[in-house]
Amino acid sequence: MELLRHISRFLFPKRREELYYSLKSILTFAPHNLELYKQALLHKSMLAVDDNGQQINNERLEFLGDAILEAVVSNYLFRKYGKKQEGFLTTMRSKIVRRSTLGQLSKRTGLDSLIKSSILSGAHNSYIGGNAFEALFGAAYLDRGYSCCQKFFMSLIERGFLNPDKLEQKEQNYKSLLLEWCQKYKVDITYETEEFDSSDAKTPPFLCYVMMEGHVMGKGRGYSKKESHQQAARKALQRIKERPRVSQHLMEDKFMRLVTEDVFTSSVSQTL
């Protein structure tokens, strides 16, 4: 009997683990290295550390998964929409990989129930779920390769978890997209709006400036504050996409702001 147990463990090393079955159901293929997936589901709020005292969380896998997911989605859209231009493909990709969409996918597939986090249920859940979904792609890529990531993505469509046709018809919310980008990279953002009295009906009365780390990143006019904010956010997103150095400068300004804030907080604490 003991020999049979050893043989069973050798042939089916992970079958007894609940996580194995859950992941296999979500991914539609068998995971090999469960440790990778455990890390993909580990939020930084758990403050987990390894044997060397180094913090363990899913942020590195999220970084990798973000790139893999974009590549998989880009390939899918390129083949699905053979006659569409680059602008349409970019918009569609952003609708699929945006944090709110990934958060919904996390819930629909049941991935959110597997995430280890010390943060209580609330507004951050969609963000945490979306990050974990990206990290899952990173883990799947390291564990089973790019083709399995493609298989997983296509299964989301085939099982009805993701409907690109509905997303295509959905109006783009540029302000939400920009906010998601700023939250992801911890960039400070504010909107400043001016209203002008104008007898010219062709000139929208509202002018909005979107400020990121203290810099004007986009201007937008509209016949309502909401419309002017959307136009300003759209231009800011376009600027970030088309000019990589803009993102680099924002990261540098963010770093200097955080350093200054830390120095100020430390100084106040010592004074008190």
Tens-place pLDDT, residues 60-70: 999 999 999 99
**66 has catalytic annotation:** yes
Window from 17-21, 112-116, 125-129, 199-203 with minimum mean pLDDT: 199-203
Q: How many CB atoms lie within 10 A of CB 221?
A: 15
Query: Of residues 17, 35, 51, 66, which has the active-site annotation?
Result: 66
Q: Stretch 220-233: mean pLDDT, rounded?
A: 88
Which of 139, 239, 247, 233 is CA-nearest to residue 184?
Answer: 247
Query: Of residues 17, 35, 86, 134, which has the active-site annotation?
Result: 134
pLDDT value for 264: 53
Q: Stretch 7-16: mean pLDDT, rounded?
A: 44
Backbone angles phi, psi at 75, to 5 degrees: -65, -45
Are the C-beta atoms of residues 116 and 140 closer than 8 Å to each other?
Answer: no
pLDDT value for 121: 54
pLDDT value for 9: 47
Which of 239, 38, 43 is CA-nearest to residue 127?
Answer: 43
224: three-class secondary structure by DSSP: coil
pLDDT value for 162: 96
Cα dihedral 196→198→204→206 (10° resolution): 10
CA–CA separation, 36 and 53 (whole Å): 18
pLDDT value for 6: 45
pLDDT value for 241: 84
CA–CA separation, 241 and 132 (whole Å): 24
Residue 94's pLDDT band, with cuts at 50, 70 and 90, is confident
CA–CA separation, 258 and 188 (whole Å): 10
Please check the confidence at residue 216 and state whether its pLDDT lies above 80: yes
**70 has catalytic annotation:** no
pLDDT value for 66: 94
Position of tokens 């997103």? Answer: 237
Please check the confidence at residue 138 and state whether its pLDDT lies above 60: yes
Higher-pLDDT residue of 174 and 17 is: 174
Question: Residues with Cβ < 8 Å from 118, sequence gap 6 or more?
Answer: 43, 45, 46, 47
Please check the confidence at residue 12 and state whether its pLDDT lies above 50: no
What CATH superfamily classification does 2-169 receive?
Answer: Ribonuclease III domain (1.10.1520.10)
In angstroms, what CA-CA distances link 158 with 95, 151, 155, 163? 18, 10, 5, 9
pLDDT value for 11: 42
- The topology under which CATH files domain 174-271 is Double Stranded RNA Binding Domain (3.30.160)
Structural domain boundaries in the chain:
2-169, 174-271
Position of tokens 């590195």? Answer: 60
pLDDT value for 233: 93
pLDDT value for 219: 94
Window from 7-11, 24-28, 48-52, 111-115 with minimum mean pLDDT: 7-11
CA–CA separation, 43 and 39 (whole Å): 8
CA–CA separation, 122 and 120 (whole Å): 6
